[in-house]
Structure 1
């Protein structure tokens, strides 16, 4: 028998294997979608409501299209399910369950998306996973909403880049955190000006373009690096040109609709130039070589692996079903403490509005210094029990300021001493908004351990839950207005106020249930 006929005969003999393997994978995916439907809804909601991740709607179709183009390489070998795939499914189901237990959306989203390559390994084997490495890796990296942590650093890079460019071209300019001060205006590099949307979308497109256009690995690495650097530089130039236009021709040409049109045109031009530059260095297409077929796995063993994968998928949501039946959220009434040397508490009247939804109790009060009349506002919120959807301290939507009316100028950390020699490290936010500039000091507490890091606070909550405890967590925040250049004096004032606050666990601030029974607060 000649080679073409042998190849056809070999493919025909292996077709039933792939039919069964494809059917098993389809069943596993259907079970995944049904059992983790709440996670699917949460993922799609994030893509739809956060403009940063709207490109996520394209990632699954692009990955499927790439898989379709690799179908011939995939079918060159019979499927050989791997027990390592079961280990991967087990680990990811545990990650998802932990994310559900602690109400961490990122963990749930990552586990759900990463289950697709784990199921490929469990249903089809290592060879299939290797052939589909790019589309599966592309799916995991870009379908999961992960870029929020980049907003602040990109804002800082953009602000410094634009200011340096203005200095080089002779425009008088000062940088105050993320405010660019010129003779005609004060320009704020807001969250929307960070360029994170263009950065992630351009990087995602660059990865796909490099995979399709290049065969050499170093060309792929270079182009992806260019796709990551170009949007950062482009965003800095966009802000620079916006300020320059405002200084040269007037603010009306640098704001409003003209500002939006210029931004989109500028980013579009940069993207076209990047793709054109990459086109001239593309590699010629090379037909892939199909490796020699290897032996498959006995039908009974394949069936066991497939059934085990489906059972593991069902186990996570089955265990999590009990979480919905947990006790209803506790309700408390917090009473603001009396602070030595400060008059109050009084009702807060300025524009500072922290938002912490689903708290068991919260209080916001204003205090006046007996010495000089300085004003400090206190915010305190308590969450009781295990973190759960709608009732968790660290979650999307809970924030220390109203992002619609204020922007962060800078971040820092400060060592804070409280009563009884107790101390912690507080985070500091310098805000600018319609009500002026202000400083906010904050820290999170889980039981008696406090930190400025929301990530560490989540880990402390997780540790308490794993130990069988019912952790109580809280947030403390102090705020005061900054006038002119008196930020250092305001920091001294906030520190003096913090020193008079009760330490965690002290009874100075009472948290009372509706029944009137007093309960200690963290």
Structure 2
């Protein structure tokens, strides 16, 4: 007996008439209403960050991919699946939780949008439609902006790779050059490989283009995977070439060749070179398949219909669509009209008084300009050089935030340190138990710049928790936002110089002693979980 359903059991496309179309329009309106904050945040991030500006085009490309499969999708309609409604409910729950936590992790809401689209495909069209639409919907993952802190860490790593490889290329030309952190010293000129030159503005759009190229590449799956993955090394190498070319122009013709239109022009040229390199990879791989012409290499894949063994009915479609609309509208109503955005602010003492807690010490408090303060994003901060009675030197930096939301967070020292010309030579996460019974992990870093070394400890003090890892800090933030209605906290960094004749263990002993003195003083300035609350505010007001 054949497993292929009879012609009478297949749902012909002409059965998909006006009423289902109306329901899909209502679903789209409910989706927009519920996820308006997430959609607005997407456009904000795409407009503010150059490395994400390609995001405007990705929904259009995904819609085109779905439209190209329209005949296959209509021919594959099957019985709506209840499991899809579970996915719709989970997406709605994630939306609500993302608003309850009022944290900076908008990525959860963005991912919930994509999960909802895939769930609706399953709930309304059945398994065959779900699998056929999964790739175009999954392409939307490239439009999701990573969290700010992830971009910060990734940018730092790309800056280091671009600096190191760029210097290697300059040295191949016989030009004397010295690398200090992210600063390329050419003798008469110094070139800083800033965050804007990290290569991320190539990487993110190039990844999506690489995926699209792999989709259009008529080749086996393993070749398509190579095409997509090759975008990462191509980006690193070509951005390093850009850094080397900029360094060469600066060395020969002056620093004006590292700024303005010429710098931007170099960026566009390098991006086009990245595309050319990608097509070289495609051309090489095509030789394995014996394809030579462009029409053989690239083109829309032929997606045939996959008739379902179950029957699609308008009655089941209408029921499942109505349930989905109700779930989405209920979640949207709670998000827009609930009281989920109220945060609590605990009582605390201004950080300006912290240096005075050290009796007998001298303190030189540093002030920063408004532009730097805006970058720091802190609601309260202290930067001070301190000297104890035995003439030991320390630097203290504490940045406190009333709340963390939509990118309002700290810059990781792992990014800021190389930007100042320092090179991180060692980084460890170390456990500690202090005399007051406090146990936690902190980041221990040794930095160096032209033979000068410093020992750095830093950690995040978050509502009674001291955390070394930025990822863990962000996830614990979600639980505290729901349970305590608080997202406040501080980043604490302490430093001491390492003498030229000094062993590192001596600097560790000195800085650990400073940590032991500092830690008992912090709760007044960085409130724990049980601190009294003096006021509430709406961060979105």
Which interval holds the TM-score relative to the shorter structure? 0.7 to 0.9
> Could you tell me whether the CA contact under 8 Å between 1:77 and 1:294 is conserved in 2?
no
- Does 2:144 align with 1:129? no
Change (3 A) 1:48 1:208: same
Change (3 A) 1:423 1:252: same
Structure possessing the higher relative contact order (Cα contacts under 8 Å, 6 or more residues apart): 2
Within-5 A mapping of 1:448-487: 448-464=464-480, 468-470=483-485, 473-478=488-493
Q: Tell me what 1:75 maps to.
A: 74
Corresponding residue to 1:268 among 260, 267, 272: 272
Which 5+ residue runs of structure 2 have no aligned equivalent? 1-5, 287-295, 536-541
- Does 2:361 align with 1:343? yes
TM-score of the two chains, using structure 2 as the length reference: 0.77
Mean Cα displacement is larger for which, 114-123 or 139-148?
A: 139-148
Corresponding residue to 1:312 among 313, 327, 340: 327
Which 5+ residue runs of structure 1 have no aligned equivalent? 1-5, 384-390, 517-522
Separation (CA, whole Å) in 1 of partners of 2:526 and 2:117: 49
Q: Tell me what 1:501 maps to.
A: 518
Q: Tell me what 1:244 maps to.
A: 248
Q: Tell me what 1:87 maps to.
A: 86
> Could you tell me whether the CA contact under 8 Å between 2:114 and 2:137 is conserved in 1?
no
Post-superposition offset of 1:42: 1.0
> Could you tell me whether the CA contact under 8 Å between 1:245 and 1:253 is conserved in 2?
yes
Post-superposition offset of 1:71: 0.9
Post-superposition offset of 1:505: 7.3
Secondary structure at the aligned position of 1:498 is classed as: helix
Mean Cα displacement is larger for which, 58-67 or 275-284?
A: 275-284
Post-superposition offset of 1:120: 1.7
Change (3 A) 1:123 1:394: closer
Separation (CA, whole Å) in 1 of partners of 2:246 and 2:496: 30
> Could you tell me whether the CA contact under 8 Å between 1:418 and 1:503 is conserved in 2?
no
Secondary structure at the aligned position of 2:354 is classed as: coil
Secondary structure at the aligned position of 2:306 is classed as: coil
Change (3 A) 1:500 1:132: same
Post-superposition offset of 1:61: 0.6
Deviations 1:467-497 (A, max 9, x none): x445574214235697997996987765443
> Could you tell me whether the CA contact under 8 Å between 1:173 and 1:182 is conserved in 2?
yes
Give the root-mean-square deviation of aligned CA atoms: 4.2
Q: Tell me what 1:3 maps to.
A: none
TM-score of the two chains, using structure 1 as the length reference: 0.80
Change (3 A) 1:12 1:380: closer
Separation (CA, whole Å) in 2 of partners of 1:485 and 1:81: 72
Q: Tell me what 2:155 maps to.
A: 151
Mean Cα displacement is larger for which, 50-59 or 178-187?
A: 178-187
Post-superposition offset of 1:273: 4.4
Within-5 A mapping of 1:32-431: 32-102=31-101, 103=103, 104-145=105-146, 148=151, 149-275=153-279, 278=282, 281=286, 282-283=296-297, 287-292=302-307, 294-320=309-335, 321-324=337-340, 326=342, 329-330=345-346, 332-334=348-350, 335-336=353-354, 338-340=356-358, 343=361, 347-349=365-367, 353=373, 359=379, 367-372=386-391, 374=393, 376-381=395-400, 383=402, 391-392=403-404, 395-396=407-408, 398-399=410-411, 407=419, 409-410=422-423, 412-413=427-428, 415=430, 420=436, 422-427=438-443
Separation (CA, whole Å) in 1 of partners of 2:447 and 2:433: 23
> Could you tell me whether the CA contact under 8 Å between 2:194 and 2:419 is conserved in 1?
yes
Secondary structure at the aligned position of 1:477 is classed as: strand
Post-superposition offset of 1:500: 1.2
Separation (CA, whole Å) in 2 of partners of 1:293 and 1:424: 56
> Could you tell me whether the CA contact under 8 Å between 1:151 and 1:191 is conserved in 2?
yes
Post-superposition offset of 1:288: 4.0
Secondary structure at the aligned position of 2:28 is classed as: helix
Deviations 1:336-377 (A, max 9, x none): 264446525664346775866585x65555533333273523
Separation (CA, whole Å) in 2 of partners of 1:279 and 1:150: 30
Q: Tell me what 1:519 maps to.
A: none
Separation (CA, whole Å) in 2 of partners of 1:474 and 1:338: 21
Separation (CA, whole Å) in 1 of partners of 2:224 and 2:487: 49
Mean Cα displacement is larger for which, 364-373 or 477-486?
A: 477-486
Mean Cα displacement is larger for which, 220-229 or 325-334?
A: 325-334
> Could you tell me whether the CA contact under 8 Å between 1:178 and 1:189 is conserved in 2?
yes
Post-superposition offset of 1:300: 3.6
Change (3 A) 1:486 1:170: farther
Mean Cα displacement is larger for which, 258-267 or 316-325?
A: 316-325
Secondary structure at the aligned position of 1:77 is classed as: coil
Q: Tell me what 1:520 maps to.
A: none
Deviations 1:24-53 (A, max 9, x none): 333212101012212211111011111111
Change (3 A) 1:131 1:89: same
Secondary structure at the aligned position of 1:54 is classed as: helix
